[in-house]
Structure 1
Amino acid sequence: MQQYGLSHDETALVGRDRELARLRSLEEKSRAGSLQVALLAGEPGIGKTRLLREIARCARQQGTTVLEGGASDAEGMPPYLPFLEALGQHIRSASTDELRAQAGAMVSVLATILPELSLRLGESVSSYPLPPEQARLRLFEAVGIFLSAIATPRPLLLILDDLHWSDRASLDLLCHVAQHQTNTRLLIVGAYRDGELMQRAAFERALTELARLRLLTPITLAPLTATAVAELASGYLGATVDSAVSRLLVAQSEGNPFLVEELLRGWLESGAIAQEQDGGAFCLVAPHSPLLPPSISNAVRQRLARLAPATVELLRCASIIGRTFDVALLARVTGQDEESAEECLHEAVQARLIHQLPPTAATAPSNFAFSHDTIRQCLYQEVRAVRRLRLHTRIGQELELRLARAHASTSAQQLAELAFHFARSGEVERGATYSQSAAQQALQTYAPAEAMAHQQTALQLLSTDDPRRGPWLLELGAAALLASAWQEAIDAFQCAQEWGRRHGEQHLTGCAALGLGRAYWRQERIAPARLALEQAVAELSAQTTAETVEALVELGSLLILSLHQQEEALTCLERALDLARQLGERRLEAAAGRALGNLLIRSNQIQRGLPLLEQALSLALSLGEALEVSECCACLTMAYGWHGALDRRAQLFPLWLEYARRCHDPYQLRHLYTHLASSYALRSQWAEADEALDRSQSVVEQLASPEPAALLQWTRGLLLAPRGHLSEAEDLIKTALVWYRQHAAQSLAWWLGGLGFVQAIQGKQQEARTCLAELETLVASLPAESMPLAHALCFMAATSAVLADQTWATRLYPRLLPFRGQFHSFLVDRLLGELALLTGETAAAETHLARAEAAARRLSLSFELAMTLGAQSFLVLVRDGPQAIAQARPRLEEAVALSISTGTPTLAQLLQQQWQEWVHPHERAAGRPDRSTRLAYQPLPAGLSAREGQVLRLVAQGKSNRQIAEILVISERTVANHLRNIFNKTGVDNRAAAAVFAIRHGLLD
């Protein structure tokens, strides 16, 4: 009988010329020393793996080193599996001299996930323990350096298949390598099913991050065209197909290459198609269509039906082992000798259901793999549940024997395999033990999500009274916190707490309460968080331990940050610092010192608090405690900002960002980019501010806590307001306030002022005054001279200044005075100057505004400088009378020009409105006049026409061409023509200069 059907790898690659060309172009870029990342997307069977093998073949021909790995959907797989497979190939094939040079000083770190590295080098390596965030960072750095070293003598192609099944740790590692090894001769090509994104949030985030870094080249594989299907069929059959076969093939396969070959194989074996005489084309044997399988699974089942029962049975057992299996293990599990098993598998190889892996140094000659995972899944589902249990038991036992004979330490992959099989076997105790060991191994490589999965399996296998249950529940809760799975953490800690109480384990009960409080706090559930932390302190005070200090630090921080209860917080934190010093725990001393320093700062005891915070930061840096450094930087940036030392604050952001990233915990970044955006905005660096806000958005989307998202919305709204987007700004702030009212009412005083300020700028006087009245009620409960009070008072003062409300100015000035020299979203000295101006205290106003101007110029605060210059121009009018307009106007001109040049048209318009009110105080009492039409009846300088005068005034107010066109009901082209005439007549060449001209000639008076 004539044999047809080349294997998928033997057929020529068809219909993918464009995609292959893009990959080759990326390979050339990578060979030149620029890391590239390409990800192939498409449905199952579309040819992703085939294209990966083709680019690998081409790369090898160019002398490139090729390493291949892939993820698996089998439960219990170890973290970093794609990298383990790829790097494992290199470790087994490279010489020991090469490995020693490439691994360098990072051997001990790499060995945490690649134990075969130390075995190949014949070295016993050890590494001192590190905090989880440090361990993960060092591991990521080590893998990146290792890959870079491998790519030094020859370019490197790293292939990562089935990435949609990747664990979060692998995806984080991929992003880290891509970001930090940009000058490496490395091309990373991965493949994933594009229909899996909705179910794989971690993978979707990785795609977003790679795209944001501008490192990703996405390549989507579309179905083959009719021409390509016919070409594929001809290559597979060795002859062409007639038009009827081609049309049927296209209709049934829908351009899916895997289905094309499956259909052709089925038709050949059933006799539905045959070749014409003399080597002609293949055509349908019968006039009707052959019976065609409706799906890939059905196609696989039809192929299996044509094999000998013994072969199918052997394949079913192999499917229990995994997609890749070796004959030796399969033979022992099924009770056959290797030769017989391999002979039986030969039929499956001929049927293209499995293929033998190349006998390289990386794989044994008897290793096989299923051609497609769908084949393995179909076979696995056919095995009865009872028999699966027996086979998993037998496989696990054989894997144990192998390890015993090898006398080697158990790798993460081996532990995961043992856990996977025993958890599904009748060996419950072994399943639990191996699952817990796999969880601990995953945590050691900072893969908390994978650790959670193993721990949950282990706990399911334990009896309720097993003495290990309580400690294992604590470990599950801790892993869930690291994975930002806070509800899962709450569930685990509650179970641990109940278990501890039932078994009289006071310390374990206290630790569970501590974890519970942390989880609740991260969800912004303040009341249950406080209760849990108070329980933790009570339970852990029986014997002083590190956990006692941690509980006191957490409780004290909660009391001051979320509840503003200074005295209770001070008692907790002073005790925590004292106990930390008694224990001699420098890490705890740093944490307690940071928390106490933060409390003192928030109590306006800046001179006492700053040294404590700086000492805590220095200590944390010396200990290499990334998490504590991040926390210290967060506190210090706020402290120096309030202190008015914004230059020192700006210096801290890079350090904060570096160590927050090292933690590999999105929670540590929850506020960072939002605060960074505000810092940029103070200097009118709007592009950088918007980019930081976008980065913040990508962070908060990963968090279960809604509080960072509310802060981001509030900040985004506040930063939109001065740029002319007042309605959108108000809507964003209102949306954020809805959450604060419902879930964090105790912090509402901190945020409500932003709404009143934006409403005042819009001229919504009644709404703004309503906010002021509510704020007055809210601040009554805040501690005197505290930073939350200062923040609220500053927004109240800013709102009152915009409203020109003398009553509120009189009320607020003495309350804000203790915070002079500070900064709370605004320069306090500038606000004090404006309040003093409204109350007629011109000497005090002059002093405050001079200090504000000096600070604004020194720190390059464009918004504050413009507002201060405007206030100084008004001061001249109040002090010297209307005859001083000429002396006052230059300050106003500078303020308006600065506002327009720095992209804050709303500020320019506000200053001009305020100028009108101070020049015409009788109009201030009657409300702000609309003077846009009055210019038409005034004699205008430089020969400007009435319409040009209207356009010029609107330009000076910061309006865009589009806005001017809408106001005057003319086209934007007409506005542009008017501007050209204005520039020619006035002798200016830009909008800011035109605005200054308008002010100088009294067009806004």
Structure 2
Amino acid sequence: MPPVARGGTLHGGRSRPPVAVPASTTVSAPRATIGGVPRWDERPLVGRDGELATLVAAVDRAAAGRGAAVLVAGDAGVGKSRLLDELAVRAAGRGLRVLTGHCVDLGDVGLPYLPFVDLLRPVAAELGDGAAGLFTARARAAGEPEVPDLGSPVAALRPPVDDGRLQLFEAVAAALTGLAAERPLLVVLEDLHWADRSSRDLLRYLLARLADEPVAVVASYRSDDLHRRHPLRPLLAELVRLPGVERLDLGPLPDAAVEELVRGLAGAVPDRTVEDVVARAEGNAFYAEELLAAGLAGETLPLALTDVLLARVEQLGPAAQQVLRVAAVAGRRVRHELVAAVGGLSPADLERALAEAVHSHLLVVSPDGAYRFRHALLREAVLADLLPGERVRLHAAVAAHLAAVPGAGTAAERAHHLQESNDLAGALTASLEAADEAGRVGAPAEQLQHLERALALWPAVPDAAGRAGRSQPVLLLDTAAAARRGGELHRAVALLRAAQDVLGPDGERELRARVHYTLAQALARVEDQDSALRETTAAMALVPAQPPSPVRTWAAATHARACFEVGRREEAAAAAEEALAAADALGLDSAWADVAVSLARSRGGEGLAARLEEALARARRAGDPDVEMRVLFNLAIVAYEDGAAEETLRWSDAGLARARELGVEWSFYAAELRHLGVLSRYVLGDWDGSLALADQLARVPEMAAHVRAAGLLVQVGRGDPAAAARTAWARGLVRRLGAHALLLVSAAGAELELAAWAPDPAAALTTARTAAARLEELWGAERIVVVRLAVTALAPVADAAASARLTGDAAAEREWVAGGGELVALARAAVADHERVVGEYGVEAAAWLARLAAETARLAGRAMPELWSAAVAAFGYGHVYEQARSRWRLAEALVAAGDREAAVGPLRSAAETARALGAAPLLAAVTALARRARLELPGAGRVVPAEAVFTPRETEVLALLARGRTNRQIGSELYISEKTASVHVSNILAKLGAGSRTEAVAVAATRGLLPTG
């Protein structure tokens, strides 16, 4: 029996898991001193498709001759101006004239009619002396007296007497309807919250007056500026009751849209910076831009943004400002009782202050009665404005209140306030309590955060060990365990190395051994197998085998795994047998289960699943989530290697449900189960489910990034335009992480699929070579996944060789055949090493090897339908997409072999699958083959015969072009002059829209227009 009964997967690699805007709309300008600052003038519009559609619909109604109006509400910075800019572009593209007016904050007394002066000034400048006629034509037609001096918009909007406003309003209406009579009109009014009373009255009149005219009016205002007595409030209530007027609320952008905005502004931004900006901006586009610029400059909260935020705070009275200061120190949410206890205000003053803060839209009342800041950055700005002494005093007062009132706050809140008030000992104790609370509710990320806070406080607290009830190395071990549960493997390694430093060479031997084998487990999962073996060897040397002990048992179990990883099988088997015997003697079910998995996977054979299920029962009995997740993963991967994708899905879904129940969704093996869930759904043809699972959570640890990257196969397979950017993200992360083999496989696989459909054979060759070399470094003989990567790259290379063969370019053909031969050699070397060291390979590898044989024949120009039939059968184990892709190639081979009738069946089947999956590139390729071969394919359109495109003589010339003939040779063979041959060639290029003779042949071949004789 071979050392391992099955080989690895070709998506997962190994049999065990690898380890692994226009400038005018922007408030702030970029700083000249910041390197790499984004181009704000190229700000993309993101996350507003629905809102834009509503506005465009209003424009379309105006274009159809009906009036429409939309009142756009949103907080400052949420993206109103950018949205209206885009609307103006869309409206202009639809043939509308766009007029824009801006309101300006000029205090209590503004300039009357300023926004209308602003929007009509360009009209007056354009019309010159004809402007007066525009303003009076409609009035005269209605029998009304002529309005004097309306050639200037400023004069037109300054009524001579109060009772002349109706005449004035009608004159403006006449101007707009006159303009709209020439072509439909879009009127944009920005910042209506600053509009003067006269402008508000005129807007009311126009919306009623223009209801039947081809005019769309879109007005924006800041909803957060509308306090209870704001003069715009009653007008809005009145306007929305008018026919044709609707209100559009712009809420915060989704996190995904903010991320897209940030990456669109500056493509090379580090992922951590993007995550920080997304979290802090809370959907506000302006805040995101400012935070991005600040992050690139190394700032925390930008000064310009702080000033903008504090300007609104400074408009409040002293008591309301004090309430905001207390609330800022207390947290994002604060109860009334806490403000009352800490704020130092009388009940009456407190009520008035809170009312002022709420009515000014700085605080918001939550459904549970708590107050919260409207935006987290407002709280940050208030905090930054506090004097140091005031901040410490307030934190101390809040901490005292939380301690004195049962249930007033959590341990995490107390820890924060105690630390900020310089009570470090109390903060240490509270942080450990908070960590325990987080652990009990299954929140490893928060548990890690609290434990790391305790570690940071440790040196400053004299009796830290007594307060913690454990030594510093033990606390480091506990913190590393939380890091592992949260998927932060590199952090766990750093914490365990710190524990070794604290213990030193003279530390307690069993504790040192425990740190060594725990570090080995973490190192193995970040692809450092040699270091893991060194750590397990050190652990084994520290603790004797007799009498059996839990530490020695786990050291032996971990040593067995490390030895199996590097091929030291005899030593691994001896350590495993020792660990099994000791685990039985001591009743250590979790250690027994862990060793049983290692032995079962190394020995393989019949009954493997039954042995793994026994290990699962023991792991659950022991209550060890890490070992339980490992067993569940191995049950899933065994099914995947057997080609049982549905069974894989059953185990991966069950494992993920259990991981959620235990609160370890991003621990190592839980992430691998999610990865298998993504892949098995992809294989089974559930592409929507695959992509949804890959993108289910907003944030993932970097060591689990391959889960999200695995969704790229669906995006590329569907021709999603976003796939290229997401592939670039994965490629950049591969470069940064270095030893994350699964992420490398996902990124390289997506790049190769993109290159195959582009087509870009040169990029495919480069990517495959680089990935194969790196996988050999990381996985050695277990790199059988290289077969899939090499075959995927071989497809566009074989296409390039076929194209060169078609056009008679012998040099190019030799170049591509040589490149393809290199890919074939890479695949065969990976298979040979796998068979030599690991043993048999599974059904997935067999399917890709069948396709390798077929692609190799195609590279050499041999149409061998029997090889493609074998590939179709091999992928019949359940890989829906690859079977369809092989059917397409089978049909192509049958056509090339002259059996066009036999090609219809596989071609239609491939088309049906491509439509069901939404695989647009494959469907396009299938359709192109049907047209080229002149086969009827449902949904592919009518087959156009060559004689419907070319004259008989042009058909003859095209046939000779395909053989690489020059104009002189064409003329000689057809008994025409060289000049006449040149004219025919030019006509052919024009009909095909081709820029060269080679391109013309390729296009004709794709469209099925090449002569077959």
TM-score by length of 2: 0.48
Structure with greater contact order relative to length (CA < 8 Å, sep ≥ 6): 2
Name the TM-score, length of structure 1 as normaliser. Answer: 0.49
